[in-house]
Structure 1
Amino acid sequence: MGEVKNADNFERILDSLAEGFGHAERVIVNKAGAEAFEKIMKPKVPYSTKTHSGKSVHLRDSLVTEQHPNGSISVGFTAKSHKGYIGRFQNDGWDVRDRNGVQHGHVPGKHFWEESAKEAQVVLPKTMAIIAKQIIDGKVKP
């Protein structure tokens, strides 16, 4: 019967793999995906050179990632900048109404969020799989 060399290392590797992905590893993978999504979306977000009432924060500048306790990460606009509703108008479009409620037309949306999500469907799984593989490879090394 053959002898297993480095049996302790092999058992350690199996124990490490049996632990699976912990919270920290999940955050690392999700963060890589969120950063990739942000890189895709940021150039698509409308940017204005005009500032109103002395404010300098633009919609594109208020795009951030936020980590949640369960390890998921969201990409969106900061609440501090109060730009989320502007992003919604820019993305979806809006009906123009005067102060009397009379509709004067429709401003079409730019749909940058949907375009980014569609483009990300190809990029994100690959990016996240590369990071996950690196983590697994790190657990397998003797």
Structure 2
Amino acid sequence: MANEVKNSDSFERILDDLAQGFGTSERLAANTAGADVFVSIMKPKVPKRSGVDEKIHLRDALIKVPHANGSVDVGFSSKSDKGYIGRFQNDGWTVKDKTGKIHSHVPGKHFWEETQNEAKGKVGQAVAEVLKAEMNKKVRGG
């Protein structure tokens, strides 16, 4: 039976690395992988207008915004001025004339909610795979 741990310095370094957890760059990499999955599921669900000449389509205005804390937001770019259109398309709207008289209600397509439901496990899996790879690097010392 062994009375000592060989390479104890290396083992202690691995434990120290693991105890530090994940840094901002590792969280950003993991969250970006999750956001990539979310965007890939959402893009085909975004309603496509036909017969309208647009400079930029709502689907093309879908962006990922990384933050200094390692989080990543998904939304529509402010430069495209398409966020409000996405909201109308997703939630629906009530049609009113210039006098304020209500004519009808256009139901929403709820593509954002559908994407959230469909992406739940897939986004988590993508994030977990990146974090697992990062943990393996810490354990191997690379």
Shift, 1:4, TM fit: 2.0
Aligned partner of 1:35 in structure 2 is 36
1:18-97 matches, within 5 Å, as: 18-52=19-53, 55-97=54-96
Aligned partner of 1:6 in structure 2 is 7
Task: Give a deviation string over 1:22-78, Cα, whole Å, max 9, x none.
Answer: 1111111111111111111111001224344xx420100100000122211100000
Give the secondary-structure state (helix, strand or coil) at the position aligned to 1:40: helix
Q: Structure 1, unaligned stretches of length 5 or more? A: none
- Over 6 Å off, 4+ runs: none
Aligned partner of 2:107 in structure 1 is 108
Shift, 1:124, TM fit: 1.4
How much is the aligned-residue C-alpha RMSD, in angstroms?
1.4
Number of corresponding residues? 140
The 2-side partners of 1:50 and 1:85 are apart by: 20
Aligned partner of 1:141 in structure 2 is 140
Shift, 1:139, TM fit: 0.4
The 2-side partners of 1:49 and 1:62 are apart by: 17
The 2-side partners of 1:20 and 1:29 are apart by: 13
Q: Structure 2, unaligned stretches of length 5 or more? A: none
Give the secondary-structure state (helix, strand or coil) at the position aligned to 1:21: coil
Mean Cα deviation higher: 95-104 or 5-14: 5-14
- TM-score after normalising by structure 2: 0.92
Q: Percent identity?
A: 54
The residue identity in structure 2 corresponding to 1:23 is: T
Shift, 1:128, TM fit: 1.0
